């Protein structure tokens, strides 16, 4: 048997290996070319999608921009129309107000011209005060001859003279200040009127009433106040404001009989005035007449709304008169009206509990 030639076999093997390597390289190269082609296709597709998305985005932004522009323009139109409408409304309101002021001015002038024939107008008083009369004949059935010639300074003067109209305006302002509780300013207003019209009875009345109410504790004013009030009452004995102010002045000075007499006059004119009734009862106690005080407090307690002070004072009178059971009921009724949560209510409640304890009343822990 012939032996193989080793170099020839080696060369054949090398060729075979080389062919295998070339085939593998060719296969790898073909695979790489295919993969590159796929990647290129994907990249191209992605680029097309990005281009389309960019186009859509540009279109959307353009639409959005146009929409915002349209909205801004619409808002400017709406705001402009609203502003024009508001300005028109304000102009119309201003015109109506000006017209209304003209009407009011005309009514005031008409009223001023009619005052000499007017019997008087009642003013609205501050809480707790009687209605202050505007003319001295407001509470009388017929005008007092001495004052029938004196027109009301609160509304107008008797003549159209300029100084009289100025005094009328001053009096109107003073009466408004008095009604709102601005007594010192009212006093100054009526003082100016009296400086030029010293015989004006109505200005004298309001001046004295304002002078007292501005500072009731100022005793140096009492003589002047009393002098003016008596001058008013000499001409008009039924003048509520003068009687009320004088009675308060007399209470301050401890003149109980005089104060009680004037309060009786007031109650003849206003029998259901709670403050007048309570003050009359207080004065009646001071002059030693608990029975009369009982009647005053009882009348005040019957009025509506219920008054704590009236019920408390009624119980005090009933206790003095030996009517313990009635006193207990009055004090109990007063106690139900108090607010123990407030300092004043707590103090009054404590005082009532002490009084009730004297009657043997058990409060049940209240």
* 133, β-bridge pairs: 122
Q: What is the pLDDT of residues 151-163, one digit of tens each?
A: 444 433 444 457 7
**pLDDT value for 59:** 62
Question: Rounded CA gap, 280 and 259, in Å?
Answer: 8
Handedness of CA 151, 153, 155, 159 (dihedral sign): positive
Q: Which domain holds residue 295?
A: 271-366
**pLDDT value for 165:** 80
Three-state secondary-structure class, residue 336: helix
Do 136 and 256 share a domain, yes or no? yes
List the alpha helices (DSSP H) in the chain: 6-114, 145-148, 162-179, 183-196, 201-214, 222-235, 240-252, 256-269, 274-286, 290-302, 308-320, 324-337, 343-358
Give the domain-ending residue among 261, 288, 306: 261
Q: Is residue 37 part of a domain?
A: no
Do 228 and 279 share a domain, yes or no? no
The verdict on whether omega for the bond into residue 327 sits within 30 degrees of 0, i.e. cis, is no
Do 254 and 133 share a domain, yes or no? yes
Nearest to 241 by CA among 200, 282, 269: 269
The CATH code of the domain that includes 243 is 1.25.40
Do 141 and 238 share a domain, yes or no? yes
**pLDDT value for 154:** 41
Do 315 and 234 share a domain, yes or no? no
8 A C-beta contact, residue 313 and residue 292: no
The CATH code of the domain that includes 359 is 1.25.40.10
Count of domains in the chain?
A: 2
**pLDDT value for 115:** 37
Three-state secondary-structure class, residue 85: helix
* 292, β-bridge pairs: none
Do 278 and 221 share a domain, yes or no? no
* 122, β-bridge pairs: 133
**pLDDT value for 285:** 95
**pLDDT value for 3:** 55
Give the domain-ending residue among 195, 226, 261: 261
Q: Is the pTM of this model over 0.75?
A: no
At how many degrees (to 10) do helices 222-235 and 240-252 cross? 150
**pLDDT value for 17:** 79
**pLDDT value for 169:** 87
Encoded tokens for 111:
């009223």
Do 290 and 169 share a domain, yes or no? no
Give the domain-ending residue among 261, 289, 317: 261
Do 140 and 239 share a domain, yes or no? yes
Q: Is residue 304 part of a domain?
A: yes
* Residues of the chain below pLDDT 50: 82, 97-98, 100-101, 104-105, 107-160, 365-366
**pLDDT value for 104:** 44
Do 317 and 242 share a domain, yes or no? no
8 A C-beta contact, residue 281 and residue 293: yes
8 A C-beta contact, residue 167 and residue 197: yes
């Amino acid at each position: 048997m012939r032996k193989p030639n080793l170099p020839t076999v080696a060369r054949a093997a090398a060729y075979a290996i080389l062919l295998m390597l070339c085939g593998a390289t060719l296969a790898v190269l073909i695979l790489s070319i295919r993969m590159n082609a796929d990647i290129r296709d994907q990249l191209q597709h992605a680029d097309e999608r990005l281009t389309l998305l960019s186009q859509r985005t540009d279109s959307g932004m353009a639409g959005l921009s146009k929409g915002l522009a349209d909205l801004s323009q619409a808002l400017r139109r709406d705001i402009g129309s609203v502003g024009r409408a508001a300005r028109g409304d304000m102009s119309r309101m201003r015109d109506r107000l000006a017209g209304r002021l003209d009407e009011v001015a005309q009514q005031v002038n008409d009223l001023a011209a009619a005052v000499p024939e007017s019997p008087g107008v009642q003013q609205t008083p501050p809480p707790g005060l009687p209605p202050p009369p505007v003319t001295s004949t407001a509470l009388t059935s017929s005008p007092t001859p001495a004052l029938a010639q004196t027109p009301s300074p609160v509304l107008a003067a008797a003549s159209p003279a300029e100084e009289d109209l100025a005094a009328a305006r001053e009096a109107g302002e003073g009466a408004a200040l008095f009604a709102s509780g601005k007594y010192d300013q009212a006093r100054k207003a009526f003082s100016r009127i009296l400086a030029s019209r010293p015989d004006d009875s109505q200005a004298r009345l309001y001046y004295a009433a304002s002078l007292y109410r501005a500072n009731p504790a100022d005793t140096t004013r009492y003589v002047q106040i009393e002098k003016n009030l008596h001058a008013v009452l000499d001409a008009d004995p039924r003048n509520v404001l003068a009687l009320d102010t004088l009675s308060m002045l007399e209470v301050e000075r401890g003149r109980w009989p005089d104060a009680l007499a004037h309060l009786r006059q007031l109650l003849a004119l206003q029998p259901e005035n709670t403050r007048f009734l309570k003050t009359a009862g207080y004065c009646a106690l001071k002059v030693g007449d608990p029975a009369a005080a009982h009647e005053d407090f009882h009348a005040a307690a019957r009025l509506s709304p219920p008054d704590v002070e009236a019920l408390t004072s009624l119980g005090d009178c009933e206790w003095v008169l030996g009517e313990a059971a009635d006193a207990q009921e009055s004090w109990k009724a007063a106690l139900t009206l108090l607010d123990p949560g407030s300092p004043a209510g707590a103090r009054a409640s404590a005082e009532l509990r002490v009084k009730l304890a004297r009657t043997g009343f058990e409060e049940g822990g209240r």
